[in-house]
Amino acid sequence: MNLGREEGTALVSELVNMVHDEVDSRTAVVLCPPFPFLGYVKKLFQGQANVFLAAQNCSSRVSGAYTGEVSVGILKSFEVDYVILGHSERREYFHETNAELAEKTNLVLGSGLVPIFCCGESLQMRQGGDYLGFVKQQLTESLFHLSAEQMRQVVIAYEPIWAIGTGLTASAEQAQEMHAALRAHLAGRYGAALAGDISILYGGSVNAKNAASLFACPDVDGGLVGGASLKSRDFTDIAKSFTYS
């Protein structure tokens, strides 16, 4: 929830131009503005094949008298491609549950959009509990009712909550440990081939300095970028950090 219309459109214009000139066309760049700016942002990158539009959230209701909510149908009318679900801030501040996120996932997939499903653990859980089991349970309770065909459409984003906006960052080794555990968990339910095809993003204070080491991890397929996305140079450098073998 940053920037007004003028600042936001200026940022997106810079980003789109820099991505076009500097980022490998095989790298998908997904822009996730606040709801009121979806239409503005869409117009700024039309015709650029590797740039996509995402909403930061959606309602768990199809339609009706739910003032202030935004339905998947409304998002689709803005030609949104992706929808972020279960971001740590939605879980913490708005008390979204795994069951509610399962409902949202169904709605997003049913509308032909792609959910970016967020999961992650707090610092307290990281230090004192079964943090791997906790995050795997988030997937189990929100995603494992899906068919293999549906699951193949989902993007997962691991957010170590303790590394968001704190200045802390998971090491490449910590990120790889969790990503590998989540991929193995997916393989146990859907098989290794499908698990290998699912993109798992890292989303905890990704910046231009640590992106290359994080993206070099075999099970890290990209980033869910927070504060660094408000600076066009930093965001572009992060996108450029993803390399292809």
What CA–CA distance (Å, rounded) separates 244 from 87? 28
What CA–CA distance (Å, rounded) separates 97 from 142? 9
pLDDT in the model for residue 125 = 87
**pLDDT at residue 101 greater than cutoff 70:** yes
- The identity of residue 45, as a single letter, is F
What CA–CA distance (Å, rounded) separates 174 from 182? 13
Give residue-wise pLDDT tens across range 102-112. 999 999 999 99
Compute the C-alpha angle 60/138/228, nearest 5°: 80
pLDDT in the model for residue 162 = 86
pLDDT in the model for residue 130 = 92
> How many alpha carbons lie under 13 Å from residue 175 in its C-beta half-sphere?
31
**pLDDT at residue 166 greater than cutoff 80:** no
Token duo for residue 90:
């939605």
pLDDT in the model for residue 243 = 86
In the sheet that holds 200-202, the strands lie side by side as 29-31, 51-55, 82-85, 114-119, 155-158, 200-202
Tally Cβ neighbours within 10 Å of residue 197. 11
Buried b / exposed e along 63-74 (16+ C-beta atoms within 10 A): eeeeeeebbbeb
The pTM score is 0.95
**What is the pLDDT confidence band of residue 167, given thresholds at 50, 70 and 90?**
low
Helices first, then strands: H and E counts in the chain = 12, 6
pLDDT in the model for residue 204 = 85
Domains annotated for the chain, with CATH where assigned, are: 5-240 (3.20.20.70)
What CA–CA distance (Å, rounded) separates 169 from 245? 26
Tally Cβ neighbours within 10 Å of residue 143. 23
More confident residue, 89 or 163: 89
pLDDT in the model for residue 165 = 66
As annotated, the active-site residues are 87, 159
Among 240, 245, 209, 195, which Cα is nearest to 222's?
240
Token duo for residue 9:
């459109």
Contacts of 82 (CB under 8 A, 6+ apart): 30, 32, 52, 53, 54, 55, 113, 114, 115, 116, 155
Give residue-wise pLDDT tens across range 29-69. 999 999 999 999 999 998 899 999 999 999 999 999 999 99
Residue with tokens 């009121």: 36
